[in-house]
Amino acid sequence: MVGCFQDEVFGVFAARPLPPSSSPRASAASCPPPGHLYARGWIEPQSPVDGRSLKAATLDQSLNLGRSARDDGMADFSIRMNNRLQFSNCETPHIPTSRPHEETLIVELNGDLLTITARRADGGLGSRIYAQRAIDLPEASIFTILPELPSHVRDGSFFSARGTIAILATHRDGRRRLRAVGTDKNSGQCHGWIFDAIEEAGPGSNRA
Q: Give the predicted TM-score (pTM) of the model.
A: 0.66
pLDDT tens-digit readout, 38-50 = 343 443 444 444 4
Q: Convert the pLDDT of each residue in 170-181 to its tens digit.
A: 767 778 999 999
According to the model, what pLDDT value does residue 71 have? Answer: 47
Please name the helix (run of DSSP H) or strand (run of DSSP E) that holds residue 55, with its range, or none.
helix 54-61
Please, which pLDDT band fits residue 75 given cuts at 50, 70 and 90? confident
Q: For 85-89, what is the mean pLDDT? A: 96
Task: Give the C-alpha separation, 138 to 131, whole Å.
Answer: 20
pLDDT at 4 exceeding the cut of 90 = no
Q: Residue 61: in which H helix or E strand, if any?
A: helix 54-61
Helices and strands in the chain, H and E counts: 1, 10
- The band of 67, judged by pLDDT with boundaries at 50, 70 and 90, is very low
Mean pLDDT, range 149-165, rounded to an integer: 94
Instruction: Show the domains of the chain with their CATH numbers.
Output: 47-199 (2.40.160)
Cα separation, 132 vs 7, whole angstroms = 29
173 or 98: whose pLDDT is higher?
98
Tens-digit pLDDT profile for residues 15-31: 445 555 554 444 444 45
Q: pLDDT grade, residue 130 (50/70/90)?
A: very high
Question: In this predicted model, which residue has the larger pLDDT, 118 or 16?
Answer: 118
